[in-house]
Amino acid sequence: MGEPQFEIREMTIDDFPEVHKLWMTIKGFGIRTIDDSKEGVERFIKRNPTTSIVAEADGKIVGSILCGHDGRRGCFYHVCVAEAYRKHGIGKTMAVAAMRALKAEKINKVCLIAFKDNEIGNCFWKSVGWTFREDLNYYDFTLNEENITNFNK
């Protein structure tokens, strides 16, 4: 496959079936039963209508970033590119588009979480200039035990 032609655009809830199908192909992806359902993603997009991104190539969605902010800091979730479309600049182009959308909303910093064993993702983020933080600890607290994370194999 030569260089794929791709288009980057804002994600809408109408993209959910194709985006979810893509997520299910990504090895190691943690999919939550509530947050990553259609209703959960719709809630997220309504709160952040201009910042989530998809990449389309060959008539299908081949990449996505759920991106939102709290008014102070942006965050990337579920950043992925279909395996057959990697190493063609799609991930970097999506990240830049999402960061531009955050800057348009006056957000000055963005973060993401990459699982330690996600070697491909960690190498990617370091290669495009993101800083690995060693000066902090990350904590979370589960408010809804029904929101179970399942990992793709």
Segment holding 130, helix H or strand E:
none
Distance separating alpha carbons of residues 129 and 127, to the nearest angstrom:
6
Q: What are phi and psi of 63, to 5 degrees?
A: -160, 155
pLDDT level of residue 16 (50, 70, 90 thresholds): very high
pLDDT band at 87 (very low <50, low <70, confident <90, very high): very high
Mean pLDDT value of segment 22-39: 93
What is the tens place of the pLDDT at every residue in 47-56?
A: 999 999 999 9
In a domain, 134, yes or no: yes
21-35, 90-104, 106-120, 139-153: which has the minimum mean pLDDT? 139-153
Q: Residue for token digits 């830049």?
A: 96
Q: How confident is the model at residue 27 (pLDDT cuts 50, 70, 90)?
A: confident
What range defines the domain where residue 106 resides? 6-151
Domain membership of residue 27 (yes or no) is: yes
Distance CA 89, CA 2 (A): 13
Query: Mapping DSSP to helix (H, G, I), strand (E, B) and coil, where does residue 134 land?
Result: coil
146 pLDDT above the threshold of 70: yes
CATH of the domain at 53: 3.40.630.30
What integer best gives the mean pLDDT of the chain?
A: 92
Mean per-residue pLDDT, 6-14: 98
Position 115 scores a pLDDT of: 84
pLDDT at 36: 96
pTM of the predicted model over 0.75: yes
In a domain, 1, yes or no: no
β-strands 74-81, 60-69: how paired?
Answer: antiparallel
C-alpha span between 86 and 106 (Å, rounded): 30
Q: How many domains does the chain contain in total?
A: 1
pLDDT at 2: 65
53 is a domain residue: yes
The answer to whether residue 121 is domain-embedded is: yes
pLDDT in tens, 63-79: 999 999 999 999 999 99
Is 19 part of any domain? yes
